[in-house]
């Protein structure tokens, strides 16, 4: 069920992007200000505006459905009832230094330190 909703959601997103890009630019921010296209006049404004509203509604509904369905599979839990995570205790041995620490130190911890001049 979730996979079907994801596919429908992606199709709606692609269609919404296409419809928004087909609309005529009213300002000069990103577009060139119009020009010829496959639709002109009032028919373009009403059809594309209606399509944008419908696709926007479908996007919102599909996003809400996906979040509701995802919430069904989650079991309720409380963070208060969980045991506290302990920090490093003295019984644990320290972690080995990583490669960056080894490079900063100039020698690896596994190799014996060499003394200059010998």
Cα–Cα distance measured from residue 93 to residue 103, given in angstroms and rounded to the nearest whole number: 22
**pLDDT per position as a tens digit, 58-84:** 999 999 999 999 888 787 777 787 776
Given a contact cutoff of 8 angstroms between Cβ atoms, the answer to whether 70 and 2 are in contact is: yes
Q: Is the pTM of this model over 0.85?
A: no
Q: Where are the domains of the chain?
A: 2-25+42-72
Given a contact cutoff of 8 angstroms between Cβ atoms, the answer to whether 50 and 42 are in contact is: no
Given a contact cutoff of 8 angstroms between Cβ atoms, the answer to whether 25 and 57 are in contact is: no
Q: How many CA atoms lie within 13 A of 16 on its CB side?
A: 15
Residue 57 has pLDDT above 90, yes or no: yes
């Amino acid at each position: 069920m979730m996979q079907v909703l994801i596919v429908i959601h992606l199709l709606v997103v692609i269609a919404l992007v296409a419809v928004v890009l087909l609309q005529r630019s009213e300002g000069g921010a990103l577009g060139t200000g119009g020009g010829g296209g496959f639709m002109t006049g009032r028919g373009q404004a009403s059809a594309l505006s209606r399509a944008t509203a419908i696709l926007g509604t479908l996007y919102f509904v599909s996003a809400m459905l996906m979040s509701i369905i995802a919430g069904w599979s989650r079991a309720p839990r409380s963070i208060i009832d969980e045991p506290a995570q302990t920090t490093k205790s003295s019984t644990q041995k320290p972690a080995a230094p990583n490669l960056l620490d080894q490079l900063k130190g100039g020698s690896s911890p596994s190799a014996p330190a060499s003394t200059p001049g010998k």
